[in-house]
Amino acid sequence: MKCFYYFKEKSGNRGQRSAPELKKGLKSDEYSGPSDRITKSSCSAASPRSIPELYEEKAHNLRVFSYSELKQATQDFNLVNKIGEGGFGGVFKGTIKTADGKGQLQVAIKKLNRDGFQGHKQWMAEVQFLGVVEHPNLVKLIGYCSVDGQRGIHRLLVYEFMSNRSLEEHLFRRAHPPLPWKTRLNIMLGAAEGLAYLHEGLEVQVVGTYGYAAPDYVQTGRLTDKSDVWGFGVVLYEILTGRRILDRGRPKPEQKLLDWVKMFPADSKKFILIMDPRLEKQFSIRAAREVAKLADSCLVKSAKDRPKMSQVVEKLKQIIQVSDEGNAAAGENESPEETETEAAELVKNSNQQGVSESWKRRMAHLAKLGEHLEGPSRRRLMMLQRAKVI
């Protein structure tokens, strides 16, 4: 099909298993991943090797599966084995034979939604991209399935299975125990290191879903490495608060995470009120404040003023050191309990002051109205004011 013109099957035996090959004559700068997933950088220093060039060298490392193998691995793509859904299509847990045929291996199998053109582009991009990346904090692509037949086309990707599930599930689903503070810091650092590797080693950017896209990307449609930095800032606040970027189930002022956290600046006494209550005050306040400041620097409107991911990595390492040293060693004089109590009192007093100011404004308005009343009406208004009924 034309949408797969980047690839062609190697000549030879029909049963031969080999990774899709780049079409001869395709220039490296003609490669383009899907706009919502991966793109070549327009601002980074030129990489010595492009992704298509690296792919041609490493394609033989990918396993090629038949559709029947993956159908059997997932029990005919039984919904019981479905573990996710995205723009690409459904993701199923499955079991395949190891490469040597002597054991079994759990995998995650992404099945392309045949009705979406965007999915076809993403399939091509991911085969090339994940076929060359090697980093402990990035999911590994084991192989793929590409079949054209009378019953239609089948495009599938086979990944290593992440037994610990996703960060999203652990943060937002109460079925899982809460992530401890140290684990959250390590996740922040690991994710930052993965992004830094992609930016500096492979010149790519990865854009998430709604709420994670930087304002400069939304306005121009142009991706840079700083677009990812914005999205990472969002993730930092999600990890701190245990809240989604957008949650329609919360009171209106709290539905948009980035708007809500602005009411609790990192240096303010109220800051602790944004922290995930599931942490049960078991965290370093100083480290948490530093994470929030780092998130704020990632979320500045001007892309050029955001830090590089390599700088984010170094800052997170410093924050983890501060957290590990403990409150006393780090010179931190506040405890979560004391700070939370003080913050709650501050909010309470602020609310009371707001009520008092509102009362004063109302009385002044009524007094002005009373100037135009006469006789019995004026006397009744004065009696109500003294009784504080109005």
Whether residues 108 and 249 share a domain: the answer is no
Whether residues 145 and 183 share a domain: the answer is no
Whether residues 312 and 182 share a domain: the answer is yes
Residue 139's contacts (CB-CB under 8 Å, 6 or more residues apart) are 130, 159, 160, 162
Is 127 a residue whose pLDDT tops 90?
no
The answer on whether 368 is annotated among ligand-binding residues is: no
pLDDT number for residue 320: 96
Percentage above 90 pLDDT, the chain: 40
Whether residues 225 and 85 share a domain: the answer is no
Residue pLDDT, tens place only, 259-288: 999 999 999 999 999 999 999 989 999 999
Q: Please, what is the angle between helix 336-370 and helix 375-386, to 10°? A: 160
Decide the pairing of beta strands 152-160 and 141-149. Answer: antiparallel
Global pTM reads: 0.67
Whether residues 137 and 253 share a domain: the answer is no
**Domain end marker among 160, 189, 213:** 160
How many domains does the chain contain in total? 3
Residue 261's contacts (CB-CB under 8 Å, 6 or more residues apart) are 237, 241, 274, 292
Whether residues 171 and 289 share a domain: the answer is yes
Whether residues 122 and 94 share a domain: the answer is yes
pLDDT number for residue 6: 25
Query: For residues 108 and 85, is the Cβ–Cβ distance under 8 A?
Result: no
Which CATH number goes with the domain that contains 59?
Answer: 3.30.200.20
The residue with greater pLDDT, 286 or 218, is: 286
How far apart are alpha carbons 1 and 144 in whole angstroms?
A: 17
Whether residues 91 and 180 share a domain: the answer is no
Whether residues 26 and 73 share a domain: the answer is yes
Residue pLDDT, tens place only, 155-186: 999 999 988 777 888 888 877 889 999 999 99
Whether residues 195 and 302 share a domain: the answer is yes
Buried b (16+ CB within 10 A) or exposed e, 193-203: bbbbbbbeebb
Is 132 a residue whose pLDDT tops 60?
yes
Residue (of 288, 182, 302) closest to 236 by Cα position: 288
**Domain end marker among 129, 160, 191:** 160
Range of the domain at 342: 338-386
Query: For residues 297 and 306, is the Cβ–Cβ distance under 8 A?
Result: yes
DSSP symbol at 194: H
**Domain end marker among 160, 179, 207:** 160
Percentage above 70 pLDDT, the chain: 63
Whether residues 220 and 113 share a domain: the answer is no
Whether residues 289 and 359 share a domain: the answer is no
CA distances from 7 to 25, 209, 310 (A): 12, 28, 34
